[in-house]
Amino acid sequence: MSDTVKELKEKLFNNRKNGLLSVDDSTFSEMQNYCEDYKSFLDTAKTEREAVAAAIKMAESKGFVEMEIGKKYKSGDKVYVNNRDKTVAFAVIGEESVESGVNITAAHIDSPRLDLKPNPLYEEIELALFKTHYYGGIRKYQWPTVPLSLHGVFALKDGSRIDVCIGEKDDEPKFVVNDLLPHLAAEQSKRTLSEGIKGEELNVLIGSLPFKSDEGSELVKLNIIKFLNDKYGITEEDFLSAELEMVPAFKACDIGFDSSMIGAYGQDDRVCAYPALTAILNVENPLKTAVAILADKEEIGSDGNTGLNSDFLRFFIYDLAKMQGGDGTVALRNSRCLSADVNAGLDPTFQDVFERRNASRLNYGVVVTKYTGARGKSSTSDASAEYVASVRAMLDNAGIVWQTGELGKVDMGGGGTVAMYIANLGVDVVDLGVPVLSMHAPFETTAKFDVYMCYRAMYEFMK
Ligand code: MN
Ligand code: MN
Q: Residue 116 has what pLDDT?
A: 98
DSSP structural state of residue 69: T
Residue 221: exposure state from Cβ atoms within 10 A (0-12, 13-18, ≥19): buried
DSSP-derived letter for residue 71 is -
* Ligand found nearest the CA of 273: 1
The residues with which 133 forms a beta bridge, in sequence order, are 115
| Average pLDDT for 11-28 | 95
Ligand closest to Cα of 108 equals 1
Q: Which residues surround ligand 2, an ion (CB under 5 A)?
A: 268
Cα torsion angle, 283, 289, 294, 299, sign: negative
CA-to-CA separations, 351 to 244, 346, 356, 409, in angstroms, rounded: 37, 6, 8, 10
| CB neighbourhood size of 410 (10 A) | 12
Q: Which range, of 135-139, 332-336, 407-411, averages the lowest pLDDT?
A: 407-411
Residues 204-236: tens digit of each pLDDT? 999 999 999 888 899 999 999 999 999 999 999
**In the predicted structure, residue 21 carries a pLDDT above the cut 90:** yes
Write the pLDDT tens digit of every residue in 245-275: 999 999 999 999 999 999 999 999 999 999 9
pLDDT of residue 1: 60
Q: Is 20 helix (H, G, I), strand (E, B) or coil?
A: helix
What dihedral do alpha carbons 434, 438, 443, 445 form, nearest 10°? Answer: -40
Q: Using omega within 30 degrees of 0 as the cis cutoff, is the peptide bond preceding 269 cis?
A: yes
329, containing H or E segment: helix 328-333
Q: How far is the CA of 269 from the centre of ligand 2 (A)?
A: 7
User: Looking at the chain, how many residues does it have?
Assistant: 463
CA of 235 to the centre of ligand 1 (A): 36
Please tell me the distance from the alpha carbon of residue 389 to that of residue 394, in angstroms, as a whole number: 9
- Ligand 2 center to 365 CA (angstroms): 19
H/E element, 42? helix 25-44
- Centroid of ligand 1 to alpha carbon of 161 (angstroms): 29
Integer CA distances (angstroms), 423 to 107, 146, 180, 429, in order: 14, 38, 46, 6
pLDDT computed for residue 214 by the predictor: 84
Q: Using the mean position of ligand 2's atoms as its centre, give its distance from the Cα of residue 251 in Å.
A: 19
The alpha carbon of 440 and the centre of ligand 2 are apart by a number of angstroms equal to 6
CA of 43 from ligand 2 middle (Å) equals 18
Question: How many Å lie between the centroid of ligand 1 and the Cα of residue 368?
Answer: 14
- Whether residue 433 is predicted with pLDDT greater than 80 in this model: the reply is yes
- How remote is the CA of residue 111 from the centroid of ligand 2, in Å? 7
pLDDT of residue 3 exceeding 90: no
What value does the mean pLDDT take over residues 352-360?
96
Q: Which ligand is nearest to the CA of 272?
A: 1
Q: What is the mean pLDDT of the chain?
A: 97
Distance in angstroms (rounded) separating the CA atoms of residues 445 and 48 = 20
**pLDDT tens figures, 278-317:** 999 999 999 999 999 999 999 999 999 999 999 999 999 9
Query: 277 near 89, Cβ under 8 Å?
Result: no
With a CB cutoff of 8 Å and minimum separation 6, the contacts of 426 are 329, 332, 333, 335
Could you give the percent of the chain with pLDDT greater than 70? 100
Confidence of residue 189 (pLDDT cuts 50, 70, 90): very high
Question: Which ligand lies nearest the alpha carbon of 419?
Answer: 1
CA-to-CA separations, 244 to 114, 155, 346, in angstroms, rounded: 9, 11, 34
- Long-range contacts made by residues 345-351, C-beta under 8 angstroms, separation at least 24? 345/435, 345/436, 345/437, 345/445, 345/446, 345/447, 346/435, 347/437, 347/438
Q: What is the pLDDT of residues 62-85, one digit of tens each?
A: 999 999 998 999 999 999 999 999
